[in-house]
Structure 1
């Protein structure tokens, strides 16, 4: 029996890998939707594009016969956003666009709607020794996180008034082959052997490999314990910024030094250069508790941090030309 799974954001970092994984599930037919054309080698994947993701996007034809929606499309976090009203732009896509899709999915008889949210709904950081839990009071602070939180609230309301089940997943920083943004920049800097003042950062951050996130999504498609629940996800092992840089450097066999500069001096220098918020992300802690995943879903990370980083670096060394 064929089961249809619709994936949005299918041409993105997560979406591309997710579509290929889901296409290999027995009986699956994947409908891969994005604003750009999705490339796939699987014959059981139907691709399509949408002009925009907002409150007016028509989904009815695409949702016919669909069992599960995995909604990964979003207006992602933009550093130094210069929009006049950034919250309105995030809401248009991440809140109104999400709820429009969900309402049409419920009307079409979709059984389960999986929403890829963000750990930023919980907050920007955790105190040393503390961690976020899925039942903590949300504390979003920037437009991106606020828009995601509002979408979560609307989805849970819809779940209470319809037969469609909702699953909310809040990933921490996701890394893996093809990772972009700050993680990619760190690898490029380490490869060049540039000395970095990151040899004495005593924080703790949760990360999640692309493989582990996709595996949790797979479980949430069918597991009865996932219905109408919120889950945080990580690799289950936290690293300091120093340890992360050391492991990446080791896998690259890079020669650059990690200079043990006191955190207070790093923060002072970053503040003087107008980079205080960037330094806070590098120096701060952000840890999550994934015990709910183990207890409710019998899920635990299948890929270790070490293996996930090794796979990421190997892909980077072969493909990156910057």
Structure 2
């Protein structure tokens, strides 16, 4: 039985990953900043990756480290130098954990990055592993810098490095903008996306954690970079309709021209939100399929309907 250490174990992805690995008979240990949670059959370790001096102790006897902990997008960030704060958490803390993993002779280190490293939107061709990185925001810049530093650190080391760049990760309890979209769709309020024909690659939480689990074990994942998605792309219009279907609601989509959506977003200072909702971001995940035999557990359409169903059931019960 492999021993896996998951950083950010109490987070949205971390908790689900820990539970999945336990169900597959892994011995799971999780790093959390504060011991305020419990995850069944997971040994939680209270560590501050930026400051703790005994990180190597958590890595002792570990076969694989999955590094999820980090600073994600922050709305209304009031930091004087946001990029430096992102670097402190996403770059420097990642390197501290990686050095501890190397020192403890951990077999493999899986770093979960972001497709934001490739850019905010794709153009004629989907993003692939060979695409030139074009990080678009402080968060994405810090993830790219972490990738580069980790590749340099692990070069020549016995510990193997695997980098995964997922797009939007969604589920009924997803945080951030997807959570806001779920709540708006649940109201049945008319939305101005009827004219959109963009294409977005997304990945369900279930598909992502299954892929991370594959990267923990598969020999061919050694020292590789992967972009991963549900395998079929959807428009924002599709997303709303599929979530509505799962919620048992009728979607009302008003055909507002893209130029007006763009203008309105600019006036409201919501350019990044406009890009996320209205522009295309497509991923070619064929490398994962070819090299690792990866197949998503659920397609995007089925997973989005199920997400809507789970969201409405959860909120009805509560």
Flag whether TM exceeds 0.5 (same fold): yes
CA deviation map 1:228-282 (0-9, x unaligned): 1110010001001111111111211223511011111111222223323322221
Provide the C-alpha distance between the structure 2 equivalents of 1:55 and 1:154, rounded to a whole number of angstroms.
19
**Distance of 2:148 and 2:284 partners within structure 1:** 21
Deviation per residue, 1:118-137 (Å, 9 max, x gap): 0001111111x421001112
Q: 1:235 aligned to 2:212?
A: no
RMSD after superposition: 1.6
Moved more, 289-298 or 273-282: 273-282
Check whether the contact 1:102–1:155 (CA below 8 A) recurs between aligned residues: yes
Matched, 1:282 2:280: no
**How far did residue 309 of structure 1 move?**
1.4
Q: How does 1:281-300 map to 2 (within 5 A)?
A: 281-300=276-295
CA distance in 1, matches of 2:172, 2:290: 29
TM-score, normalising length: structure 2: 0.95
Q: State the alpha-carbon separation in 2 of the partners of residues 6 and 298 from structure 1.
A: 25
Q: Give the distance between the partners of 2:90 and 2:269, measured in 1 at CA.
A: 29
Residue 77 (structure 2) aligned to one of 56, 77, 81: 81
2:208 alignment partner, SS class: helix
Tell me: CA distance 1:82–1:291, structure 2 relative to 1, closer, same or farther (3 Å): same
Q: Equivalent residue for 1:70?
A: 66
Deviation at 1:81, TM superposition (A): 1.8
The reply on whether 1:58 has 2:54 as its aligned counterpart is: yes
Q: In the TM superposition, what are the counterparts of 1:239-258 in structure 2 within 5 Å?
A: 239-258=234-253
Q: Spell out the pairing of 1:25-174 with structure 2 (5 A cutoff).
A: 25-26=24-25, 28-37=26-35, 38-42=37-41, 45-50=42-47, 52-54=48-50, 57-127=53-123, 129-174=124-169
Query: How far did residue 114 of structure 1 move?
Result: 0.2
Contact 1:235 1:301 in 2 (8 A): yes
SS in 2 for 1:48: strand
Q: Structure 2: how far apart are the matches of 1:85 and 1:265? A: 33
The offset of 1:187, in angstroms, is 1.5
1:186 CA drift (Å): 1.2
> Is this contact kept in 1: 2:64–2:216, CA < 8 A?
yes
User: Which consecutive unaligned segments of at least 5 residues does structure 1 have?
Assistant: none
CA contact (8 A) 1:57 1:97 kept: no
Per the TM alignment, residue 57 of structure 1 is displaced from its structure 2 partner at its CA by: 4.8
Normalising by structure 1, we get a TM-score of 0.94
Q: What is the total number of aligned residue pairs between the two structures? A: 316
- CA apart distance, 1:55: 6.2
Mapped contact 2:126–2:284 kept (Cα < 8 A) = yes
Query: Hey, what does 1:4 align to over in structure 2?
Result: 3
The structural deviation recorded for 1:36 is 3.3
Distance in 1 between residues matched to 2:52 and 2:96, nearest whole Å: 7
